[in-house]
Amino acid sequence: MKNKLYGVIMFGQKKSDKDMADAKQPDTGEYKKSWSRVFIMIGLALGMLLASLDQTVVGTSLPTIVGELGGMSLFAWLFTGYMLAEVLSIPVAGKMSDRYGRKPVFLAGMGLFIGGSILAGMSNSMDMLIICRFIQGLGGGAIMPVSMATVADLYAPTERGKIQGMLGAIFAIAMVVGPFLGGFIIDNADWRWVFYVNIPVGVLAILVTSLKFPKMVSDTSKRIDFPGMVTLASTLVPALLVMTWGGSTYAWDSIEVIGLTVLSIISLVAFVLIERRAADPILPLHLFREPIFTLGSMGLLIFSVGLFGVIAFLPMFLQAVIGMSATSSGETLIPLMVGVMITMLASGFLLKRTGYKIWLIIGPPLSAFGLFMLSTLHAGSPQSDAVLYLIITGMGLGAVMSNYIVAAQNVVSKKEMGVVTSSMTLFRAIGGTIGVTVLGAIVNSRMVAELGNNLPAGAIATLPTTDVNSIGGLLMSPLASSIPTPVLEAIRLSLSNSITYMFLIGAGIVIFGLLTSVFIRNVSLKTADEYHERVVPQKESAQSNPGQDGIVPEIMLVQEPAGK
């Protein structure tokens, strides 16, 4: 017979010294020994290193890759394809890890990511590279949320901030090394090594996590929510395609855009109806009744829209406008992650004392100010200015990204940790996808206006394209030397003004994240006993209904022995 938990109200019992000592040293089960947890964290860190390293290594090298493979019009799809796959993978991975354990889902994600990296390095066309990036995205969508949920399995909220800060430092280190490594590879070797560099890190991560990983026993008797998965995918994919194609590939009033919009809306309605009745929903709708989860998800989405679109176009600005090499542009991106590391580590180690809300309040204004200052850069700006502004932007990012999730994890039950973490990661990924596509459309629209203002009358008609990515590729190609200097400088000025305008728009979006932070209530972090549900405190009822002789009643969870 399975063990059962009963709530027992205990009155008038004074705790002995031994009881007090036992309470201070809660049992953490199989992973009580620190070395076991350390070994597991090494595997998680390697996985996160893999996923984050790929994004930054590829970022600084994409202009060169696109220049060799051609298909400049498909440039944005190298980001969109990855993010689209992430969006599809994240909620499924989180839910499956709650059902079947973190280890198989994590290893499956690692396998997909390494396989996609190998195929990406073998690509001979933009179409093939986009497909491979999609495969990588499926793997990356499993690695990140499952890693964060595993941290929540191993550490109570009072300890988790420090560990999340350390993982954030790993992420920041990868983001620091990645751009430089990507630029170095492009300047000194074949671009295919940008993808092959993932293989040794991934293999090592698989070896480590195959040996040690938290074991979970979950209820798998309920049916898998396949209808929910299908309707969620048919909601997200058309919506993201509308944002990608609308106003560029197809007109906003075209049959393609309207049809995809209608499909997304119908699927959303079906998804909500299905999730309300599902025995084990892929995204439990009751989570949205918790304001911290809802506001935190909104904050992550807003922040990602404003910031990730800017980051996607920053390497092009540094190379095509400022005139840096791929390696130098990678070096200039290092300060962004230095800023992330500063506040992520600081908040992680201080979270137990300060709580999470102060960091959620500090973050949005910091990043917004940094982006605003980036919008003042131009072709003659010194590199030191870019460095300072990127540090400020990164500090704002580091203050909020993990703390939104920590705040939500603190108020939900342990059994839903995977789906909560993956759901919030999903909103972050959706925000990043929206940012790249929508801000990219804004840049392209601005580019047409800038070219009309800066080029001589009729000269714009002689350009092969007005697309920002194509113009950036033209400025970095040998063909730029054949363009008359006045025309070349006018094109460079137009590109500069267009991208810095996007920086300004990003700053305006990010500051709205402050609204969600203000309304998130500050809840004390759970202790290990509270998190593992060994003791359920009833402070309010205890204070209002004291027991005999003023002794406060305490509700404890008592486990019935097996076999009774």
pLDDT digits (tens, 9 = 90+) for 448-469: 788 878 877 666 766 666 667 6
Q: Is residue 561 classed exposed, middle or buried when 0-12, 13-18 and 19+ CB atoms within 10 A define those classes?
A: exposed
The better pLDDT of the pair 549, 398 is held by: 398
The number of C-alpha atoms within 13 Å of 219 and in the hemisphere containing its C-beta is 8
pLDDT surpassing 60 at residue 166: yes
| Mean pLDDT taken over the chain | 77
- By C-alpha distance, which of 414, 512, 465 is closest to 29? 414
Report the range of poorest mean pLDDT among 155-159, 173-177, 429-433, 446-450: 173-177
Angle between helices 34-69 and 468-475 (to 10 degrees): 80
* pLDDT on residue 212: 66
Higher pLDDT, 319 or 20: 319
pLDDT of residue 365: 94
Q: Say if residue 300's pLDDT is above 60.
A: yes
Q: In this predicted model, what pLDDT tens digit does every residue of 538-547 receive, in sequence order?
A: 443 444 344 4
Phi, psi (degrees; rounded to nearest 5) at 161: -60, -45
Is pLDDT at 175 greater than 90 in this prediction?
no
- Amino acid residing at 12: G
pLDDT at 347 over 50: yes
Query: Which of 176-180, 199-203, 242-246, 416-420 shows the lowest mean pLDDT across its residues?
Result: 176-180
Provide the terminal-to-terminal Cα distance of the chain, rounded to the nearest Å.
7
- Tally of CB atoms within 10 A around 269: 11
Where do the domains of the chain lie? 33-215+284-526, 226-283
Which amino acid belongs to residue 25? Q
267 φ/ψ angles, rounded to the nearest 5 degrees = -65, -35
Share of the chain above pLDDT 70, in %: 77
For residue 301, pLDDT over 80 is answered with yes
Please report which helix (H) or strand (E) contains residue 145, including its range.
helix 126-154
Could you give the CA distance from residue 78 to residue 551 in angstroms, rounded to a whole number?
Answer: 64
Q: Evaluate if residue 548 carries a pLDDT over 90.
A: no
Give the pLDDT score at 28: 41
Give the Cα separation of 231 and 226 in Å (integer).
Answer: 9
Which pLDDT does position 294 carry in this prediction?
A: 93
On the question of pLDDT at 378 being above 50, the answer is yes
- The arithmetic mean of pLDDT across residues 112-141, rounded, is 89
- The tokens describing 247, both together, are 């106003």
Report the alpha-carbon distance of residue 60 to residue 312 in Å, rounded.
9
Return the amino acid letter for 7: G
Residue 490 predicted with pLDDT over 80: yes
Cβ pair 549, 12 in contact under 8 A: yes
Identify the pLDDT of residue 367: 94
The CA–CA distances, whole Å, from 346 to 157, 165, 168 equal 16, 7, 11
CATH H-level, domain 33-215+284-526: superfamily: MFS general substrate transporter like domains (1.20.1250.20)
Q: CA 389 to CA 288: how far, in whole Å?
A: 36
CA distance linking residue 396 with residue 418, whole number of Å: 26
Strand pairing class (4-10; 554-560)? antiparallel
Q: What percent of the chain has pLDDT over 90?
A: 15
| Residue 319 predicted with pLDDT over 70 | yes
386-401 average pLDDT score: 89
Average pLDDT over residues 84-89: 84
Burial level of 1, CB count in 10 A (0-12/13-18/19+)?
A: exposed
- Cα Dmax for the chain: 93
Q: Which of 9-13, 16-20, 470-474, 501-505 has the highest mean pLDDT?
A: 501-505
Residue 328's SS3 state is: helix
Q: What are phi and psi of 541, to 5 degrees?
A: -70, -35
For residues 370-390, give the mean pLDDT.
86
Examine the pLDDT at 21 and tell me if it is beyond 50: no
Q: 371-382 burial, b for 16+ CB within 10 Å, e for fewer? A: bbbbbebeeebe
Cα distance between residue 528 and residue 27, in whole Å: 9
| Tokens found for residue 291 | 């304001």
The pLDDT of 438-442, averaged and rounded, is: 82
Angle at 532 between CA 553 and CA 350, to 5 degrees: 100
Q: Between 467 and 190, name the one with better pLDDT.
A: 190
Given this model, what pLDDT does residue 532 score? 62
Higher-pLDDT residue of 471, 225:
225
Inform me whether the pLDDT recorded for 238 exceeds 60: yes
Please enumerate in sequence order all residues whose Cβ is within 8 A of that of 150, keeping only pairs 6 or more positions apart, or say none: 40, 44, 102, 106, 213, 214
Which H, E and C letters describe 352-387, residue by residue?
A: HHHCCHHHHHHHHHHHHHHHHHHCCCCCCCCHHHHH
Burial class (CB within 10 angstroms; exposed 0-12, middle 13-18, buried 19+) of 550: exposed
- Return d(Cα 246, Cα 258) in angstroms, integer: 9
Tell whether the model's pLDDT for residue 434 goes beyond 50.
Answer: yes
Q: Are 424 and 406 in contact, with CB atoms under 8 Å apart?
A: no
Q: Name which of 324, 433, 440, 309 is nearest 382 in CA terms.
A: 324
Unique residue bearing structure tokens 């460095």:
387
Q: How confident is the model at residue 330 (pLDDT cuts 50, 70, 90)?
A: low
Q: Is 91 or 558 the better-scoring residue by pLDDT? A: 91
The whole-number average pLDDT for the span 323-330 is 65
Res 270: pLDDT: 94
